Amino acid sequence: MGIEFLITSLIVVVSPGPGALLTVAAGLSGGARAAAVTALGCTLGIVPHLLAAITGLAALLNASATAFEVLRYAGVAYLVYMGWATWRSPATLEVRTDAPARAAGGRIAEAMLINLLNPKLSLFFLTFLPQFIAPGEAQPAWRMLQLSLVFMAMTFVVFLGYGVFAARFRDQVLQRPGTLVWLRRGFAAAFVGLGAKLALMHR
């Protein structure tokens, strides 16, 4: 596992996207614990893309324009929905120090879904990871799994950092109702903007 893989993966993970945005929002609304749960959900949302790439389903997705478009517009619709739901949410952030297990499960499911409906992840695993597998590799699937686990670990650590950083300034944000309104609108616009970017994305 070379330094090139680690650096490139870090650049991909650090680049802001729906998962990072959702984790930051969780950190602001629910604190560090909520951010950690959301970061875990975003990381678990990578697993289906990983399995698809290893089993060859990603190749089928890449070859089928219809399958790709269906997944892409499902992702667009979900991001727009997230923007709409964020815009309509209360102007204040709810502070909960005793969130039940079901709430944690809901956060994980929401985070997994937002990454599951991101076709760029399938293409990432299909086109990026194989470049770091030697042509004569005895067990290419195992090697790809190793690289993917490293990528997932980096995703969790970086997203957790985003969320904890947001939670760190949570109290200051909560004391400014006007800031909350603009943050909510900013998140809503960002979700819709990411959806528009995904809609305009070319294969």
Domain ranges of the chain: 3-9+17-199
pLDDT at residue 84 is higher than 50:
yes
pLDDT at residue 153 is higher than 90:
yes
pLDDT at residue 47 is higher than 60:
yes
pLDDT at residue 92 is higher than 70:
no
- Of 2-16, 48-62, 81-95, 102-116, the one with minimum mean pLDDT is 81-95
- pLDDT score of 192: 81
- For the chain, the distance separating the N- and C-terminal CA atoms, rounded to the nearest angstrom, is 28
Maximum mean pLDDT: which of 4-18, 46-60, 100-114, 141-155: 141-155
| Stretch 159-165: mean pLDDT | 91
Confidence of residue 71 (pLDDT cuts 50, 70, 90): low
| Stretch 51-71: mean pLDDT | 67
Distance of CA 9 to the CA centre of its chain: 14
Cα gap 201→119, rounded to integer Å: 10
| Stretch 107-132: mean pLDDT | 77
- pLDDT score of 42: 92
- pLDDT score of 44: 94
Q: Average per-residue pLDDT in the chain?
A: 76
Cα gap 32→26, rounded to integer Å: 8
